[in-house]
């Protein structure tokens, strides 16, 4: 049974740095090879910001594109939610910086931290705030400058990540279109399998902690892989049930773009044909909170999503956190 959606996507946008780091470039930096990276991850290249160019720069660009696509003026935005773990600084929230950059003077703005699940966590939050508080024009952004916290000497992790931002403008649902379901989950017992130990209050910034590279990403790749596939499948099943649809009804699945093998394993569990699964991890790498909104924007603007399309989205990330949503466009 489909519920009547209270919120729909009015427009989308994306922004990625111009600079591209290929697998061949990485071969010159660490002991790795294009063959290994491609076979284990499906990644060929990733976009990397120039040092010192902050998240807000790309977030504002993606936001302006989404606003133009939606035909909504910045002054009409009443709420900005930004999912990220790589904001410009510890505080204020980077969403406040974006608010100023785009001139969304009437908006409330804040960041949320749910790693790769940041965008879908934000989608549920936006829907709740629209339903309960009556916000009418919400700018939801997922973005990361992960290159700022990658250890470029660690081949286990440095080949995986990229930088970028995706943004959507959300408004009250009309008719049958809109967000049909969202589901979010966490399990902090697994927080040490994918994390950055510094430089927060646990390991405050110090020369010693930076020398130990505590500010960079640590990951148990195999464990993350195992949990990711199971949790993404569970979340997607739940979101489909909540929306009152079955997987065969989906026109497109947009999974978090972490690794082609994870995407394929999830697709296999649902017996989805590859043409129903959106993949761009080869060009962007894992952009964490940005991966779904970047893919969503590409899919809309290349015609993979049309009016009436039923789209599933599913993700998994540090925390652990995982989430899914079903949307009718
Ligand atoms: N180049 C060459 N060799 C490498 C590299 C590299 N970049 N990285 C690791 N290796 C080596 C390892 O040292 C190891 O060598 P050994 O057998 O001599 O010890 C060998 O390759 C196999 O290493 P594994 O870690 O077992 O390789 P695996 O097949 O598990 O692939 C990977 C690693 C790609 C990280 C995989 O585990 C994975 O994708 N995990 C999911 C993690 C992920 O996507 N995290 C992103 C954040 S969470 C999220 O977004 C879902």
User: What CA–CA distance (Å, rounded) separates 185 from 235?
Assistant: 8
Residue nearest to atom 3 of ligand 1 (CA): 32
Q: Please provide the CATH number assigned to the domain covering 7-176.
A: 3.40.47.10
Residues 261-309: tens digit of each pLDDT: 999 999 999 999 999 999 999 999 999 999 999 999 999 999 999 999 9
Residues having CB within 6 Å of any atom of ligand 1: 32, 36-37, 40-41, 116, 155-156, 159-160, 194, 219, 221-222, 224-225, 228, 256, 258-259, 286, 316-317
Residue 1 clears pLDDT 50, i.e. is over it: no
Residues 216-227: tens digit of each pLDDT: 999 999 999 999
Looking from the CA of residue 40, the nearest atom of ligand 1 is 34
Please check whether residue 324 is in contact with residue 314, taking contact to mean a CB–CB distance below 8 angstroms. yes
Mean pLDDT in residue range 76-94: 97
Output the pLDDT for position 4: 62
Please check whether residue 282 is in contact with residue 145, taking contact to mean a CB–CB distance below 8 angstroms. no
Residue nearest to atom 33 of ligand 1 (CA): 221
* Token pair recorded at residue 251: 């026109």
Tell which CATH classification among 3.40.50.800, 3.40.47.10, 3.40.190.10, 3.40.50.720 matches the domain 180-328: 3.40.47.10
Q: Where are the beta strands (DSSP E) in the chain?
A: 7-15, 20-22, 45-47, 79-83, 108-112, 138-145, 163-172, 178-186, 194-195, 218-219, 252-255, 310-317, 321-328
Evaluate whether 7-176 and 180-328 have a shared fold: yes
* Token pair recorded at residue 158: 């440095």
Residue 90 DSSP symbol: S
> Which is higher by pLDDT, 173 or 14?
14
Residues 6+ apart with CB under 8 A from 90: none
Output the pLDDT for position 3: 61
Residue nearest to atom 13 of ligand 1 (CA): 156
Cα(48) to centroid of ligand 1, in Å?
A: 21
Question: What does the domain layout of the chain look like in residue ranges?
Answer: 7-176, 180-328
């Amino acid at each position: 049974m489909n519920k009547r959606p209270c919120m729909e996507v009015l427009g989308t946008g994306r922004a990625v740095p111009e600079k591209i780091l290929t697998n061949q470039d990485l071969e010159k930096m660490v002991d790795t090879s294009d063959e290994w990276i491609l076979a284990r991850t499906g990644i060929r290249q990733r976009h990397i910001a120039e040092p010192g160019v902050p998240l807000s720069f790309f977030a504002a660009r993606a936001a302006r594109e989404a606003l133009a696509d939606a035909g909504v003026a910045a002054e009409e935005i009443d709420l900005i939610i930004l999912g990220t773990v790589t904001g410009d600084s510890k505080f204020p929230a980077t969403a406040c910086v974006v608010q100023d950059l785009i001139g969304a003077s009437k908006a409330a703005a804040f960041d949320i931290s749910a790693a790769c699940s940041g965008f879908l966590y934000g989608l549920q939050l936006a829907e709740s705030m629209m339903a309960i508080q009556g916000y009418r024009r919400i700018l939801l952004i997922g973005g990361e400058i992960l290159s700022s916290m990658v250890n470029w000497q660690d081949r286990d992790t440095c080949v995986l990540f990229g930088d970028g931002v995706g943004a959507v403008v959300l408004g009250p649902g009309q008719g049958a279109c809109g967000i049909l379901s969202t589901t979010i989950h966490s399990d902090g017992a697994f927080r040490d399998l994918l994390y950055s130990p510094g430089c927060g209050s646990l390991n405050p910034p110090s020369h010693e902690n930076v020398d130990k590279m505590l500010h960079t990403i640590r990951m148990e790749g195999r464990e993350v892989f195992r949990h990711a596939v199971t949790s993404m499948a569970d979340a997607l099943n739940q979101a489909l049930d909540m929306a009152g649809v079955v997987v065969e009804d989906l026109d497109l699945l947009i999974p978090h773009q972490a690794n082609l093998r994870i995407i394929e394993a999830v697709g296999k569990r649902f017996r989805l044909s590859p043409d129903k699964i959106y993949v761009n991890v080869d060009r962007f790498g894992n952009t964490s909170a940005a991966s779904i909104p970047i893919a969503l924007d590409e899919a809309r603007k290349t015609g993979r999503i049309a009016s009436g399309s039923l789209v599933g989205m599913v993700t998994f990330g540090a925390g652990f956190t995982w989430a899914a949503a079903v949307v009718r466009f």
